[in-house]
């Protein structure tokens, strides 16, 4: 993907039209539009610039049903937001620099993280575990208490955090208490010694901290020699407290930031934001 140096970025955000065209390039393959609801290529244009599907009647514009449609940002605002987000500028500062509300910035950051998660190979499993994919899907009635358990693999400097379906936080405690599996922690997040093909397991939630005598303070766990885990631990420490329901989002963000550390993240994130929000089958 293209590298967006600050000068190219400057040109791109020079006008809304240029920024919009840049985003649009990630939306439709070969400029071929289709109905986001039924995929039909037969539609007609409305006076207001939107299009209506001849088959299902759905009215849409270029960003309908895509992640970037969630915040009412212009294309230019999205690019600037991404630039600052990629540089790890605190969200409070982003709000100030962009002269938008903190609530909007929070929503934008959440949208980017959900767009990143949607690209993960195990996205459908993470949704099944109760993480909300994004607009167009019902919110689950109850907040997630404990995060699912992820296994960390690192091969050739590429990290993969796999959701492990048949384990939950109670299994981590069981492995610790009955099989002496080592556990360490960063804030509320607990990570473990090796398990099967994984360098370690990681999860988060009050279920991992049932009583004061259960501590997660073992030292020299093999996973700590992993550059990915060192990178992620550092970021988690800076966050000062991660709610279990958001932990999978942060983990997938770390995974992407680590794996793409030699690349420009902006085109990668624009591509993710321009994707359609997955719709779960009811």
Instruction: Please tell me the distance from the alpha carbon of residue 184 to that of residue 248, in angstroms, as a whole number.
Output: 18
By beta-carbon proximity to Zn ion, the closer residue of 60 and 229 is 60
Q: DSSP letter at 9?
A: H
If one asks whether residue 53 binds Zn ion (CB under 5 A), the answer comes out as yes
From 9, 26, 58, 209, residue interacting with Zn ion (rule: CB under 5 A): 58
Pairing of strands 189-192, 59-60: unpaired
Residue 40 near Zn ion by CB under 5 A = yes
Nearer residue to Zn ion within complex by CB, 61 or 235: 61
**Candidate ranges 28-36, 73-81, 119-127, 195-203; the one touching Zn ion (CB under 5 A):** 28-36
Distances (CA, A) of 183 to 36, 215, 239: 46, 8, 20
- Does 11 contact Zn ion by CB under 5 A? no
Query: Taking contact as CB under 5 A, which single stretch among the options 50-58, 64-72, 75-83, 134-142 is the one that binds Zn ion?
Result: 50-58
Q: Which residue among 18, 24, 37, 153 contacts Zn ion (CB under 5 A)? A: 37
Radius of gyration (C-alpha) of the chain in whole angstroms: 21
Residue closer to Zn ion, measured from CB, 54 or 237: 54
Measured CA to CA in angstroms, residue 82 lies from 75, 114, 128, 270 at distances of 11, 14, 28, 8
> Minimum CB separation from Zn ion for residue 34, in Å?
8
Which among 27-35, 111-119, 210-218, 264-272 is the span making contact with Zn ion, rule CB under 5 A?
27-35
Q: Which is nearer to Zn ion, 53 or 189 (CB)?
A: 53
What DSSP designation does 214 have?
-
CB closer to Zn ion out of 50 and 237: 50
Q: Does 56 bind Zn ion (CB under 5 A)?
A: yes
Q: Is the dihedral of CA 73, 76, 78, 81 positive or negative?
A: negative
Torsion sign, CA atoms 189, 194, 195, 196? positive
Answer yes or no whether residue 54 interacts with Zn ion by CB under 5 A: no
Assess 65 for contact with Zn ion (CB under 5 A): no
Q: Is 165 a binder of Zn ion (CB under 5 A)?
A: no
**Shortest distance (Å) from residue 69 CB to Zn ion:** 17
Least distance to Zn ion, CB of residue 43, Å: 7
Q: Which stretch binds Zn ion (CB under 5 A): 46-54, 201-209, 231-239, 245-253?
A: 46-54
- The backbone torsions φ and ψ at residue 4, rounded to the nearest 5 degrees and listed phi first, read -105, 90
Residue 59 CA to its chain's centroid (Å): 28
Alpha helices by DSSP H, listed for 43-198, are: 75-86, 91-98, 102-118, 123-128, 169-179
Binding-site residue total for Zn ion (CB under 5 A)?
Answer: 8
| By the rule CB under 5 A, 38 interacts with Zn ion | yes
Which residues, 6+ apart, have CB-to-CB distance to 79 below 8 Å? 9, 12, 13, 19, 22, 23, 266, 270
* Contact set with Zn ion (CB under 5 A): 35, 37-38, 40, 53, 55-56, 58
């Amino acid at each position: 993907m293209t590298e967006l140096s600050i000068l190219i970025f400057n040109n791109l955000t020079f006008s809304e039209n240029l920024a919009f065209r840049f985003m649009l390039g990630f939306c439709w393959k070969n400029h071929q539009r289709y109905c986001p609801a039924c995929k039909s290529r037969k539609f007609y244009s409305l006076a207001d610039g939107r299009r209506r599907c001849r088959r299902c009647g759905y009215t849409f514009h270029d960003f309908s049903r895509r992640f970037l449609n969630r915040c009412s940002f212009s294309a230019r605002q999205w690019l600037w937001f991404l630039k600052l987000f990629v540089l790890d500028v605190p969200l409070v500062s982003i709000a100030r620099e962009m002269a938008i509300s903190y609530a909007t910035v929070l929503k934008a950051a959440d949208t980017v993280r959900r767009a990143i998660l949607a690209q993960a190979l195990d996205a459908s499993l993470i949704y099944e575990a109760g993480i909300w994919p994004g607009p167009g899907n019902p919110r689950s009635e109850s907040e997630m208490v404990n995060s699912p358990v992820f296994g960390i693999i690192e091969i050739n400097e590429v990290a993969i955090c796999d959701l492990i379906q048949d384990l939950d936080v109670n299994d981590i405690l069981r492995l610790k208490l009955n099989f002496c599996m080592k556990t360490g922690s960063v804030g509320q997040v607990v990570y473990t010694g090796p398990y099967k093909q994984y360098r370690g397991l990681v999860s988060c939630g009050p279920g991992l901290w049932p009583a004061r005598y259960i501590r997660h303070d073992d030292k020299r766990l093999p996973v700590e020699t992993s550059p990915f885990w060192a990178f992620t631990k550092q970021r988690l420490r800076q966050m000062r407290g991660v709610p279990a329901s958001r932990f999978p989002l942060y983990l997938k963000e770390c995974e992407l930031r680590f794996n793409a550390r030699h690349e420009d993240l902006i085109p990668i994130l624009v591509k993710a934001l321009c994707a359609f929000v997955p719709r779960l089958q009811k």
